[in-house]
Amino acid sequence: MTQNPYSSLPDSAFWRTGAALADPMDIRGLWHPKADIAKTTRIVTAGSCFAQHIGRAFRERGYAWFDAEAAPGTPEVQRAFHYGTFSFRTGNIYTTQMLLQWVRWATGLSPVPDLFWQEGERFFDPFRPAVEPGGFASLMEARASRQATLAAIRQAIRRGQLFVFTLGLTECWRDAETGLEYAVCPGTVAGRFDTDRHRFHNMTYPEVMTALKKAITILRRINRNMRFLLTVSPVPLTATAGGQHVITATTHSKSVLRAVAGEMAAQHDYVDYFPSYEIITSPVFGGRFYAANRRSVEPEGVDHVMRCFFHDLDTAFGRVPAAAPPRPAIAPNAEEDAPDPAAELRCEEEMLAAFQTRT
């Protein structure tokens, strides 16, 4: 048999040896990172809901995930108000156009629209309608809160070193008059649907690509050292308004996003692509990472994605792949469960002195 270009390729280049015969859970080397990520690298995460898992995984492993809009309070309270989910409190940014929109507002390249939805006495931000449970108490509150998020985005742009963005959707809803894109279809999470004003749009490959390029260009103009890591959400569409079956609409949407992400990574040395999408959706895994609704990704799937991520990162830069960190233990209540002998002695003395009691 003569030599050919395939003769010397590694097992991973062939489906039979790289996929069909391999134990799916042992498959590694799906990602060849372009640059190392140090524990001190300030990592910004944004995008579709899958991005929140990436941010959390960085945090749990001691990486410098950058919370540009940190808030006080317990993790439960923060979660309920969408703090600490992404690097800023935008909620999910599903499309590249939405990312561009936020970046342009934060950097002053576009005026921030004074558009809010009122329902009864509550106010909702059309561009992040779910961040405040039950809506804002006043228009002033809604405005001030959005301004704080824009300030946080500016911080993230200025100080971030790696921007991880998860592309989620191509389908979106826009304002017919202004062209502004809403976070979700008006009338679903909040707002009222207006057939004259609210238009469905399914972004094409060139549109997704152009918006992403523009956003990255703006970010790099302000922070020329910013690197980008793109991922595509493996979570199928909840619903499609495009007229197709939701399965074909999902394939179309994800294919466009995957192609854009790959192309951006191919074109720019400062843009990388991590295949979390493939790790969850590949037939090799037989859908094992999906929940019963065949849509949500189980924690086991997220863990596996992140194990692959850190394995490939460590391997590429000559480190022994680190084991996944144990699940964080529940912190004791500092008020009640952590005795401080010195403080307790002071308390004892105070009581004795005031009440003049002798033991």
Chain residues that interact with another protein, rule: CB under 8 A: 69, 71-74, 76-77, 80-81, 132-134, 136-138, 140-141, 144-145, 147-148, 151-152, 155, 333-336, 339, 343-344, 346-348, 350-351, 353-355, 357, 359
Q: Find residue 240's DSSP bridge partners.
A: none
Query: Minimum distance between the CB of residue 335 and another protein, rounded to whole angstroms?
Result: 6
Nearer to another protein (CB atom), residue 22 or residue 151: 151
Nearer to another protein (CB atom), residue 11 or residue 348: 348
DSSP letters of 39-75? TTS-EEEEESTHHHHHHHHHHHTT--B--TT---S-H
Check the CA dihedral 316-319-323-326 and report its sign.
negative
Query: Minimum distance between the CB of residue 344 and another protein, rounded to whole angstroms?
Result: 5
SS3 210: helix
Q: 288: which 2 tokens?
A: 């094992």
Nearer to another protein (CB atom), residue 3 or residue 356: 356
Exposed/middle/buried for 228, CB within 10 Å: 0-12, 13-18, 19+?
buried
Q: 16: which 2 tokens?
A: 């039979």
Query: Minimum distance between the CB of residue 48 and another protein, rounded to whole angstroms?
Result: 24
Nearer to another protein (CB atom), residue 1 or residue 354: 354
Query: Minimum distance between the CB of residue 326 and another protein, rounded to whole angstroms?
Result: 24
Query: Minimum distance between the CB of residue 347 and another protein, rounded to whole angstroms?
Result: 4
Q: Find residue 199's DSSP bridge partners.
A: 174
CB atoms within 10 A of CB 252: 17
Nearer to another protein (CB atom), residue 11 or residue 349: 349
CB atoms within 10 A of CB 81: 15
Amino acid at residue number 35: A
Decide: 69 and 89 in contact? Cβ < 8 Å: yes
Query: Minimum distance between the CB of residue 76 and another protein, rounded to whole angstroms?
Result: 7
Angle of helix 246-267 relative to helix 205-222, nearest 10 degrees? 40
Number of alpha carbons in the 13 Å side-chain half-sphere of residue 231: 32
Q: 47: which 2 tokens?
A: 């995008």
Nearer to another protein (CB atom), residue 97 or residue 155: 155
Nearer to another protein (CB atom), residue 300 or residue 350: 350
Query: Minimum distance between the CB of residue 128 and another protein, rounded to whole angstroms?
Result: 13
